[in-house]
Structure 1
Amino acid sequence: MATILKHWREAATLIIAAKSKNIANRYSYEILMLKRSGKSKFMPSWSVFPGGVAEDADFSPEWVGLFSSLDNDIWPKTFAHFANVGQGPPMFSRQRDEHYSKIPSEVAFRICAIRETFEECGILLTRSSNDNKKKTLTESTNIAKNYGKIGNITISDFEIWREKVDKDATQFIKMCQEFNMVPDIWSLTEWSNWLTPVNMVNKDRRASGTDKGSKRRYDTAFFLCLLDTVPDAMHDDKETVHLQWFPPDELIKSHLESKVKLAPPQIYEICRFLNFKDMEELNEFCLTRINKRVTRNFPVPAICDDGMFILYPDYSDLKALDCLNNDLADKLGNLLNRCTSRKINTNFPDLFPALNQEILESKFSPEDIKMYKSLQQLPDMVDEHYNEYNIYKVIECVMMYIKWANKLIADNKPWQLKKKEEDLQFLKCLIHVVMETLRVNGIILQPIVPNLTDQLLGRLGIPSNERMVKNIHFGSKEISERRLGESDGVLYPKIVTSNKPS
């Protein structure tokens, strides 16, 4: 067998993004999702991309003859391309039996993704063997579009062959031979690779209350295909029971509202698309990846008494500790401690001091004044990021201002300003600007870190009924001369471990 290993099976899935005609969408394209049958043994009722397990037929030596019959040198170039771009993840690079090694695994898994897509939703990505306009994967500089092409066969033949291929994967190559066409492997971008964690399988079995839960694990290649129009498609009413096209932001929103059930790989991959609003931008990104390989993603679930969380790709304890200690403890926590400390606020302890506009204009640098005024637009900036579910961009915006406020403290040395009578008004203005920065960003961060921001805003003396976005009036008189709240200790203590981070 070409694709069955001891602990998992190999599979391929295809993310299809098609240009949308709905100008009201934030994104110029939509992504195809299929809802699996509730009777499925694996991921019942979940929404997935089309795809499935690879079959021996996808690695058949017969494909060599079909591709070699093309009336140009595209097949030798394609074969050479995969030999030259470097070693991919194990599912692409592992040694197979000689019979299944006649075509590159990169081609075989693309064939699998195209075949499964045809079976599950009726989208046939093929090109005529006589199509001289095909471009190879190595000619990225000459490719105007990287879009896929829909095969052209009659409706009656289409339904007959879809049924045949669904029952027997070997019929796919026979169909291609019959209609003198080849799978459009050149339009599929190598997008990612996911391996099912062991914990997820065990959790599924425990949830069933028996030992009959799914034992299935898959090493799955994810490919992306772009289409210049939304094609006709229909679920197979067997493995899948519903088909729908979504803009990426609406898909994530539907998941958060429990209207669509998505697995971690789907959530992760769809969030990647949030970075590309325009189809052409996404296409350009695909073209830049022609000579690059993906790495295997192996998420690690952590089962807790009250739930489960998942460590996604690129996670490491070292990075997590550095982020928590550097951003939360050092930058945010220390900033609050500095501006509320009685060691600095000796002359106006426990007070949220007033803003002196005259002092601000005369004592602060032009760059700091510009930064101060730009903070007034921060709520609108992050509102767009929240609406698009780009949480990391919200955090980036917030940390930019927190870093700026920390720099204000370092540059102006409030511990020295408190010593001179003539500098006290400047000190009060400086403390006000820093506290306002913390207040505004504390309100913005509430959906992300509610407990931490509750402590932060409480220390600044901001009551719960004044923590809405509508309450953000930077430099407003309502905030001036307010008493601070009680201190609950260190906002975020550093995490110290004697163990070496993994």
Structure 2
Amino acid sequence: MSRSLKQWKEAASLIIAAKHARVAAPARPSTDKKPCNYQLLLLKRQRKTAFASAHVFPGGVIDSSDFSHKWLEVFKYVGVSSNNLDLPDLQGKPRPWPVTVSRNERGLPSDVAFRICALRETFEESGVLILSQQHSPNESNTMASCYHGGLSKADLRDWQKRVHNDGSSFIDLCHELKAVPDIWSLREWFHILTPQFLKKRYDTMFYLCAMDIPPAVHIDDVEMVKTEWSSPIDILKRFGQHEFTLEPPQLIQASSLQKFPDLQELHEYATKKQLLGTDDWMPIPFIAKDGLLITLPGDDLYPSDVTYNTNQQMRRLDETREEAKERCQNLFRVHVNDMRPTALFCNIQLPYGLPSPLSGNENEWKELPS
């Protein structure tokens, strides 16, 4: 695929999975059906923002300060230098372009900057401040935690506003607390670009972060209007009941993560998965006789000549979506009605350890057990 970033804004997002205190950790094997002992953090967006009224994972657009060489002074608090940032060695593994390209010789590597972006945006939007006063190797089984350094709720809200108005204030906050963004607690999960037919397009790295203590959440009241903690199955159920609005990436991840009812199991899996590399997802839409379907890599309909040309005409099918499904052996696609996903089909093993989502549709999701 040819590559141009001009039409996509680079961004990072964080999937926070936090221990759900009301459900005890299960002792049975993961193949048994059992209650989920963690919940995912979703934020409901304002109507006048991108992805209006959708429930999304915290995240946002990269800021120049995320690459700043000033971060190197911050990392000295935990004895880490520019030569010892200690992220997983993924040389020779498939990696998304945004986190491998060299940008600023004086600044941070892209891989580090995108993790900082995910943590900065998470604090800006939700008030969840994932910092650390010690360096934990990325392969460690230690889960993330919040660190406020004794700041009051009022002080935290003030810093939240300052970071929202100026991304470089996140550097100042870390100096104030003598703590660092806990980049080592983030597990690289997947990478996706917004489909070409949408006006607002993002090139987004998604990370997963496990927390054994649920953090307090304080939304920014600027971009977000509500927070929700829900298990993957509850997310699908409430989406099927039209309580939630989800974009395809959130829908796919909720469907994938329901395979992991235990937080420790998920954390250990994500730690191993990121060492395998990460694939690029460029969703490709088709207009069928009865509506829109969006294909992803691995689907039989997914074209081999994908480019990043935003002027490319929408592909059309002279058949219904069901007819297109019946003639294909390998499926990884989403059916969309009125810009809302209504069905997800996946019968392939996704590469590089990313768990495959379970197929389903609105009628099935709304009947899922609570």
What is the TM-score of this pair, normalised by structure 2? 0.75
* Residues 230-249 of structure 1 aligned to structure 2 (within 5 Å): 230-249=214-233
Change (3 A) 1:20 1:391: farther
Of the three residues 81, 96, 100, the one matched with 2:103 is 96
SS at match of 2:219: coil
Q: Is residue 2:285 matched to residue 1:301? A: yes
- Tell me the residue number matched to 1:36: 45
CA contact 2:72–2:81 (8 Å) conserved in 1 = no
| Structure 2 residue identity aligned to 1:52 | G
Structure 2 CA distance for aligned equivalents of residues 263 and 225 of structure 1: 20
Change (3 A) 1:82 1:326: closer
- Tell me the residue number matched to 2:182: 184
CA contact 2:12–2:59 (8 Å) conserved in 1 = yes
What per-residue deviation string (whole Å, max 9, x for no partner) do you get for residues 98-132 of structure 1?
Answer: 45xx211111011001011101110000012xx3x
Q: Tell me which stretches of 4 or more aligned residues in structure 1 moved more than 6 Å.
A: 318-323, 325-328, 389-393
- Tell me the residue number matched to 1:470: none
- Tell me the residue number matched to 1:145: 142
| Structure 1 residue identity aligned to 2:278 | V
Change (3 A) 1:83 1:224: closer
CA contact 1:35–1:241 (8 Å) conserved in 2 = yes
Structure 2 CA distance for aligned equivalents of residues 75 and 85 of structure 1: 21
Q: Is residue 2:274 matched to residue 1:257? A: no
Query: How far off its partner does 1:162 sit?
Result: 1.1
What is the aligned length? 308
Structure 2 CA distance for aligned equivalents of residues 148 and 293 of structure 1: 25
Structure 1 CA distance for aligned equivalents of residues 111 and 292 of structure 2: 34
Change (3 A) 1:308 1:71: closer
Of the three residues 228, 239, 243, the one matched with 2:212 is 228
Query: How far off its partner does 1:39 sit?
Result: 1.6
* Residues 251-330 of structure 1 aligned to structure 2 (within 5 Å): 251-317=235-301, 324=326
CA contact 2:284–2:302 (8 Å) conserved in 1 = no
What per-residue deviation string (whole Å, max 9, x for no partner) do you get for residues 355-389 of structure 1?
Answer: xxxxxxxxxxxxxxxxxxxxxxxxxxxxxxxxxx9
| Structure 2 residue identity aligned to 1:178 | E
Query: How far off its partner does 1:57 sit?
Result: 0.5
Change (3 A) 1:218 1:322: closer
Change (3 A) 1:33 1:323: closer
Structure 2 CA distance for aligned equivalents of residues 318 and 66 of structure 1: 44
What per-residue deviation string (whole Å, max 9, x for no partner) do you get for residues 80-114 of structure 1?
Answer: 74574645111112242445xx2111110110010
Query: How far off its partner does 1:21 sit?
Result: 1.5
- Tell me the residue number matched to 1:135: 136
CA contact 1:300–1:311 (8 Å) conserved in 2 = yes
- Tell me the residue number matched to 1:174: 172
Query: How far off its partner does 1:322 sit?
Result: 12
| Structure 1 residue identity aligned to 2:173 | M
Structure 2 CA distance for aligned equivalents of residues 6 and 196 of structure 1: 13
CA contact 1:13–1:52 (8 Å) conserved in 2 = yes
- Tell me the residue number matched to 2:22: 22
Of the three residues 120, 126, 134, the one matched with 2:131 is 126
| Structure 2 residue identity aligned to 1:147 | A
SS at match of 2:155: helix
SS at match of 2:275: coil
Change (3 A) 1:162 1:85: farther
Structure 1 CA distance for aligned equivalents of residues 262 and 111 of structure 2: 28
Change (3 A) 1:290 1:149: farther
Measured on the aligned residues, the alpha-carbon RMSD in Å equals: 3.2
Structure 1 CA distance for aligned equivalents of residues 225 and 294 of structure 2: 28
Query: How far off its partner does 1:159 sit?
Result: 1.8
CA contact 2:103–2:110 (8 Å) conserved in 1 = no
- Tell me the residue number matched to 2:352: none
Query: How far off its partner does 1:235 sit?
Result: 1.5
- Tell me the residue number matched to 2:356: none
CA contact 1:79–1:104 (8 Å) conserved in 2 = no
CA contact 2:87–2:184 (8 Å) conserved in 1 = no
- Tell me the residue number matched to 1:400: none
Query: How far off its partner does 1:271 sit?
Result: 1.2
- Tell me the residue number matched to 2:191: 193
* Residues 407-426 of structure 1 aligned to structure 2 (within 5 Å): none
SS at match of 1:289: helix
Structure 2 CA distance for aligned equivalents of residues 178 and 85 of structure 1: 38
Query: How far off its partner does 1:234 sit?
Result: 1.9
What per-residue deviation string (whole Å, max 9, x for no partner) do you get for residues 208-244 of structure 1?
Answer: xxxxxxx211100001111102111022111000001
For structure 1, the 5+ residue unaligned runs are 202-214, 329-388, 396-446, 449-502
Of the three residues 88, 96, 107, the one matched with 2:112 is 107
What per-residue deviation string (whole Å, max 9, x for no partner) do you get for residues 456-495 of structure 1?
Answer: xxxxxxxxxxxxxxxxxxxxxxxxxxxxxxxxxxxxxxxx
Query: How far off its partner does 1:188 sit?
Result: 0.4
Structure 1 CA distance for aligned equivalents of residues 272 and 287 of structure 2: 38
* Residues 70-89 of structure 1 aligned to structure 2 (within 5 Å): 70-72=77-79, 76-79=83-86, 81-82=88-89, 84=91, 86=93, 88-89=95-96
- Tell me the residue number matched to 1:55: 63
Query: How far off its partner does 1:51 sit?
Result: 0.5
Change (3 A) 1:198 1:111: same
CA contact 2:132–2:179 (8 Å) conserved in 1 = yes
For structure 2, the 5+ residue unaligned runs are 25-33, 304-321, 331-342, 349-359, 362-370
Percentage identity across aligned positions?
34
Query: How far off its partner does 1:306 sit?
Result: 3.2
Structure with the higher fraction of residues in strand conformation = 2
| Structure 1 residue identity aligned to 2:144 | Y
- Of the two structures, which has the highest relative contact order with CA contacts closer than 8 Å and spacing of 6 or more? 2
SS at match of 1:230: coil
SS at match of 1:275: coil
Query: How far off its partner does 1:35 sit?
Result: 0.4
CA contact 2:12–2:117 (8 Å) conserved in 1 = yes
Change (3 A) 1:323 1:178: same
What is the TM-score of this pair, normalised by structure 1? 0.56
SS at match of 2:210: strand
